Amino acid sequence: MPARIPRSHDLLLRLRILTADDWNRVRFDPDDRRGHVESHFLKATSPDANRAFWIKITFLSPKGRPGSAVAEAWAIAFERGKAPVGVKETVAAGAARFGTAPMRLEVPGALFCPPRTSGELRNGARRIAWDLAFEGPGEPYAPFPSMRMYDGPLPRSKLVTPYPDLRFDGVVQVDDVRWEIGGWRGMQGHNWGRSHAARYAWAHCNAFEDAPAGTWLEGFTGQIRIGPLLTPKVTMVGLSLGGSRVRFDDLVGTLRREGSIAYYRWTFRAEQSGHRIEGEARAEHRDLAGLRYENPSGAASSCLNSKLATMEVRYRAPAAQEIRLTSRAAALEIGTHDEDHGVETIL
């Protein structure tokens, strides 16, 4: 375990203790003419890493078009070696209900009310239904090192993980096949903003082989568009080893972090306060689902989404031996505006 854990230098973030319910608060305002997109999502993978599910509720308010906001419920079932099954339903935003005390988010076809979620969605002959309970430490992971990055205008896309290490139990029904969910490892995330990042890779894993309980990694590399140009890539990584967290997010040390984005792969390298980490998340083409993400501007992004990716991580603390982590149960998402990625768009 690391003897010294690098943390954010932002005093406000360090002192302002926000709960999972705080971070899950819905920011969506259907009358905001500036445009807004926001999602709450859950994912989990089976212990044998051959099945996984992903459930998401999204609000989209088009820029300059008040009154035309929509709410969406998404679900994807992944099974290794088979084409992912995806379903989605879209309704007017007025049909959705949400509250914060306690947290409750409801769109026709999907209910998110920690510590439970349930729903049933159909696309033609395809059907995914679920009734799940989840539990885990209520210790959110906020990857940005400053509260100003969450409260201010930049970056335009915010992300946080209210529950980074969850256990799921219950049932998922995929068409006519019943999946018994017992002890599947997963997480819950929340993102919002004026647009999706123009180009990004995001990954999460809390199912590493032979790792102690409370071990997980989450990270991203992203670029935003300013006018016709893309900004330089920014990479941030968080690692929990048995519950002890290491952060690679210092804004001053941005140049000591690198990330590479490919269609089906994300690689990263970072150093902070004498701690070093590097790794890779990779998905096979057959285990990817192509998704179309609408932006408030009217433009669309592609998301290449897998919950059956492999991940390899090498971490070294000061004056300590290298720790290696491996998994076949990682989440990997690649966001791009390119059209030639070769992955079938299913939703």
Per-residue pLDDT tens digits for 2-46: 334 444 445 455 546 888 999 999 999 888 899 999 999 999 999
Instruction: Quote the domain boundaries for residue 146.
Output: 11-336
pLDDT for 102 beyond 50 = yes
- Is 53 in contact with 43 (CB distance < 8 Å)? yes
pTM greater than 0.85:
yes
> Between the CA of residue 112 and those of 40, 122, 188, 223, 253, what are the distances in Å?
9, 18, 11, 30, 37
317 within a domain of the structure (yes/no): yes
Block residue for tokens 């807004």: 36
Number of domains the chain is built from: 1
70 within a domain of the structure (yes/no): yes
Q: Residue 323: its pLDDT value, please?
A: 98
182 within a domain of the structure (yes/no): yes
192 within a domain of the structure (yes/no): yes
- Is 71 in contact with 90 (CB distance < 8 Å)? yes
Q: How many residues does the chain have?
A: 347
347 within a domain of the structure (yes/no): no
**48-64: per-residue pLDDT in tens?**
999 999 999 999 999 99
346 within a domain of the structure (yes/no): no
Q: What distance in Å separates the CA atoms of residue 304 and residue 295, rounded to the nearest whole number?
A: 16
